[in-house]
Amino acid sequence: MTDSVAAAAARLAAGELVAFPTETVYGLGADAANPKAVAKIFALKGRPADHPVIVHVADAEALDDWARDVPEGARKAAAAFWPGPLTLILRKAAHVSPAVTGGQDSVGLRCPSHPVAQELLRAFAKMGSGAIAAPSANKFGHVSPTTAQHVRDEFGPDLLILDGGACDVGIESTIVDLSRGTPVLLRPGAITREQLAHALGVEPRAPDADAPRASGTLASHYAPRTPLELVAEAQLELRVRELATAGKRVAVLARGPARASAAFVWQAAAENPAAYAHDLYAYLRSLDSSGADIIAVEAPPADLAWDAVNDRLGRASKAVNESDEP
């Protein structure tokens, strides 16, 4: 075990916060069994207290420690995708604090695959509960961090951050609700609907009005501070010219090589969805601080392979006053 991981585990055991890498995005962690420590996450993020946080565990054996009435589907999904970018919403075990669940009867469980996250979970199991409550390590509603520097940019130098490099996946985990009978896909991610359907033997449904609250499912979320507009591929050139003519500095994010245009900055993005997702948040952060007045994002294909990316871009493009937050 590295010294920094040992120090981070000791901080968790002492009820303090630490940031750590996962394969999706960086997390802001606290001891999931310590409600006072979990409350510090909400205070630092500026997150409303009724929003639940995911509990990170070292392996699938922890399912029955944190959930009750665990359905067969959860075991199958864990066997297929853990450790990995999948969060399971299950009925919570009696001891799980409302500080973690946002007062709901369910708990979100995820076993991350990043080696540093695994090392931290195992070190913390020797000193404390071994379960880490962690949302993404960003201010509420802002773009998730995919590097240690992003976390530093959000919270400054006082927070202990384990640096595990740039996150492989780059967008948050897939969330599937298995607490209410039929599986419901609450948030698309790298583990696709098809992969889940294959493992569960049933196609997960889209969320309905009864779906549990999830801040990552609010219409306005994952947003840069600069207004972001999604533009159809065929309209991009025209729209950029129109905005530039109106005196706006336009930052463009588009697939494929940079093209000549009236844009103030042009960020070329990958043509395939996994590579695009890997860099998406780093690009949004850099375009956000480029001095542009508006970020124009060329809409990726309306294709299932782009489901998770389109979901995040759709939310990032919604102004705060359009938010459906209760």
Q: Which C-beta is closer to Mg ion: that of 135 or that of 224?
A: 135
- Strand segments, DSSP code E, in the chain are 18-20, 27-31, 54-56, 86-91, 106-110, 132-133, 160-161, 174-177, 184-187, 228-231, 250-255, 265-269, 294-298
Q: Which C-beta is closer to Mg ion: that of 52 or that of 73?
A: 52
Does residue 24 have a known ligand-binding role? yes
- Cβ atoms of 266 and 258 closer than 8 Å: yes
Residue 203 carries which DSSP code?
P
Does residue 205 have a known ligand-binding role? no
Q: Give the amino acid at 296.
A: A
111 binds, among ligand TXA, Mg ion, none (CB under 5 to 8 A by kind): none
Does residue 56 have a known ligand-binding role? yes
Q: Which C-beta is closer to ligand TXA: that of 108 or that of 300?
A: 108
Does residue 221 have a known ligand-binding role? no
Indicate whether 173 belongs to the interface with Mg ion (CB under 5 A).
no
317 binds, among ligand TXA, Mg ion, none (CB under 5 to 8 A by kind): none
- Cβ atoms of 21 and 164 closer than 8 Å: yes
- Cβ atoms of 92 and 179 closer than 8 Å: no
Does residue 173 have a known ligand-binding role? yes
22 binds, among ligand TXA, Mg ion, none (CB under 5 to 8 A by kind): ligand TXA
Give me the least distance between CB of 147 and ligand TXA, in Å please.
14
* Residues at the site binding ligand TXA, with contacts judged by CB under 6 A: 22, 24-25, 27, 51-54, 87, 89, 101, 104, 106-108, 110, 112, 134-136, 172-173, 175, 212, 214-217
183 binds, among Mg ion, ligand TXA, none (CB under 5 to 8 A by kind): none
- Cβ atoms of 185 and 202 closer than 8 Å: no
118 binds, among ligand TXA, Mg ion, none (CB under 5 to 8 A by kind): none
Does residue 129 have a known ligand-binding role? no
Give me the least distance between CB of 19 and Mg ion, in Å please.
13
Cα–Cα distance for residue pair 287/266, rounded to 1 Å: 9
Provide the greatest CA pair distance for the chain: 62
Task: Give the residue, chosen from 22, 104, 118, 136, that forms a contact with Mg ion under the rule CB under 5 A.
Answer: 136
Give me the least distance between CB of 220 and Mg ion, in Å please.
13
Q: Which stretch binds Mg ion (CB under 5 A): 29-37, 49-57, 121-129, 135-143?
A: 135-143
Q: Which C-beta is closer to ligand TXA: that of 53 or that of 236?
A: 53
Q: Which C-beta is closer to ligand TXA: that of 32 or that of 123?
A: 32
Give the N- to C-terminal CA distance of the chain in Å, as an integer: 43
- Cβ atoms of 47 and 100 closer than 8 Å: no
Cα–Cα distance for residue pair 154/262, rounded to 1 Å: 31
Q: Which residue is nearest to Mg ion (CB)?
A: 136
Cα–Cα distance for residue pair 253/131, rounded to 1 Å: 38
- Cβ atoms of 299 and 313 closer than 8 Å: yes
Helices (H), 20-71: 35-45, 63-66
Does residue 134 have a known ligand-binding role? yes
Residues 6+ apart with CB under 8 A from 196: 77, 86, 174, 176, 183, 185, 204
27 binds, among Mg ion, ligand TXA, none (CB under 5 to 8 A by kind): ligand TXA
Binding site for Mg ion (CB under 5 A): 135-136
Binding residues: 24, 47, 56, 110, 134, 136, 144, 173, 187, 222
Binding residues for L-threonine: 24, 56, 110, 134, 173
Binding residues for ATP: 47, 136, 144, 187, 222
